[in-house]
Amino acid sequence: MRADRLVAVLLFMQARGKVTAAQVAEHCETSVKTARRDLEALSIAGIPVYPERGRNGGWQLLGGARTDLTGLRSDEANALFFAMAEQSSQTPALRSAMAKLADALPDPLRSGAERAKDSVIVDPFRWNAPDPLPENPALGLIQKAIVNECKIVLRYHDAKGDETERTVEPMGLVTKVGVWYLVALTPGGRRTFRVSRVVDCRLTDEPVVRPEGFDLGSEWDQSRTAFGDSLRHVSAEIIAESDAIRVLRFIFRGRLQLLSGPVAGDRCRLRVEGANAYQIAVQLAGLVGSVEVVSPESVRKELASIGRQLREVYPS
């Protein structure tokens, strides 16, 4: 932790030239006494930092020297701040980090980076959609566990609503269209958890043992492929009116395939895929006037069942 702070002090001096212990303390959120010790530690370590006594004194790099620890080009600094700005509106710690990093950048980079930081607004509200859910407090604890490499105890609601508690080894986080997922090792193997379904999270003192050669990107690719395959257990052949195809594409997205051109008039033959017959029937029920299911019989039976239930609830 102190090494990080010493780097922050040196970057701050690089940006400001001459600083006082009080300014360093405010910047690093420490006491003046701690700031003075950090400045002395830099000097003892051989970095050309020296104190200047007197009324207008302070600490500065010898001969106005500059130590470019960032190594950032202008385009890299701007790209970094644009990327960070996307999350900073919802993350106070990131807002604070951005301000400190901007202060530490060399003068030629600072103005552009600050413009990038102030030129992005994140509006989490989707058009004609419910307000977004607040960030799950478990996310911060999971991030801390990943950094500290410690196991966590999760209480988790699965997609069926069943609650379980388990100890897992967090390997990494993935964000997909604003939704966070945790990739973790469990006694039953590698699993992916949707963070919004975590009811409670507790850190433990048990260390994480990361498998040799583990790659988060590869693990997520496998998880994503497995989930996609789970949505394609059943396929159905349908005949649809042309004006319904746009709606079908929105509902089934990549799980729709055109089998042939017009069948009769402007009707087309298509194949749709889903996790099971009931899911496909539910997705097609609202288009019953424009879509006919040719096969399989299981989907036709599910649609008939939905029709009977509707007649019972809404008798004519």
pLDDT band, residue 284 (cuts 50/70/90): very high
Per-residue model confidence as pLDDT tens digits over 181-214: 999 999 888 899 999 899 999 999 999 998 888 8
Per-residue model confidence as pLDDT tens digits over 246-272: 899 988 888 898 887 666 677 889 999
| pLDDT, position 232 | 79
Cα–Cα distance measured from residue 158 to residue 166, given in angstroms and rounded to the nearest whole number: 12
**Residue 68 Cα distances to 11, 53, 61, 65, 155, angstroms:** 8, 26, 12, 10, 46
| pLDDT, position 168 | 95
| pLDDT, position 88 | 56
Per-residue model confidence as pLDDT tens digits over 80-137: 677 666 665 556 676 777 777 777 676 667 777 777 777 776 666 666 666 665 667 8
DSSP 3-state assignment of 158?
A: coil
Per-residue model confidence as pLDDT tens digits over 6-22: 777 877 887 777 888 89
What ranges do the domains of the chain cover? 2-64, 74-117, 138-229, 234-313
Per-residue model confidence as pLDDT tens digits over 210-240: 888 889 888 888 888 887 777 778 999 999 9
DSSP string, 173-223: EEEETTEEEEEEEETTEEEEEEGGGEEEEEEEEEEP-PPTT--HHHHHHHH
Per-residue model confidence as pLDDT tens digits over 44-79: 767 777 888 777 778 877 655 554 545 666 676 777
| pLDDT, position 69 | 47
For the domain 234-313, what is the CATH code? 3.30.70
| pLDDT, position 59 | 85
CA dihedral of residues 275, 248, 174, 217 (deg, nearest 10)? 80
For the domain 138-229, what is the CATH code? 2.30.30.520
CA angle 11, 140, 185 (to 5 degrees): 110
Question: Between these two residues, 50 and 153, which has the higher pLDDT value?
Answer: 153
Query: What mean pLDDT is predicted for residues 139-150?
Result: 90
| pLDDT, position 254 | 82
| pLDDT, position 120 | 72
Q: Which CATH architecture has domain 2-64?
A: Orthogonal Bundle (1.10)
